[in-house]
Structure 1
């Protein structure tokens, strides 16, 4: 089964120079915990709810002026919409991530796939177990 059959087809990006408040508002509105960060039409990282907690709140930075680029997790793992679910599950487990952006052949963002998507849409429970085990491993 291809990842395009289980991914969430809607995905947003946030521009690198937006504020952390804007990122948090996007997360709330979309009910997500991470958003890919875009700069010069390329994904350069992810900002997560954990990034906001650890790198903004815990460090007492002002979220109204702190930019997404200052606190995002740099680099980005992604998968292609034509990738097989097994290979994506392996990548998620290996990289200890619960969500991956999904891109098309032109590397344009077309969706997001999460552990929840795999757990609820894939009939083989060993695949979601693989991701969860990898993500939970310290």
Structure 2
């Protein structure tokens, strides 16, 4: 996992989140209130929930565009468990939180696992990349 994780607060502007994404060449950021993970914001969230809704990026808040249902894992979990979770919900990054405090301690990506482990990566990538029912996605 990567431990030095860029993040934003729910009170930060969507513009600030986009600037960080551009600067670090990333497409998602954990949203942290104090040290507790409260959500994730992606470039897609910014586009769909903010820009497409006609909200000004300088005044729109991250808290209004972020996803609050975030899958997390613990540093003590097995790679296989995390890969299964990634495949089940078709995500490529999972925030790593402290088991007691739920504070953000890192983030693990499919790429991190691919460079460190070969077992299970192919299956996870297939599950993450498989198309889902378009009608269900459109709702």
Q: Which range, TM-score by smaller chain?
A: 0.7 to 0.9
Report the equivalent of 1:64. Answer: 58
Question: Which residue of 15, 28, 32 corresponds with 1:38?
Answer: 32
Are residues 1:130 and 2:113 paired? Answer: no
What are the ranges of 5 or more consecutive residues in structure 1 without an aligned counterpart? Answer: 1-6
Aligned residues: 130
Report the equivalent of 1:101. Answer: 95
What are the ranges of 5 or more consecutive residues in structure 2 without an aligned counterpart? Answer: 133-139
Are residues 1:76 and 2:99 paired? Answer: no
Distance 2:46 2:117 in 1: 31
Higher fraction of strand: 1
Distance 1:110 1:86 in 2: 20
TM-score (norm 1): 0.85
TM-score (norm 2): 0.84
Distance 2:42 2:78 in 1: 26
Flag the structure with more relative contact order, 1 or 2, with Cα contacts below 8 A and sequence separation at least 6.
Answer: 1
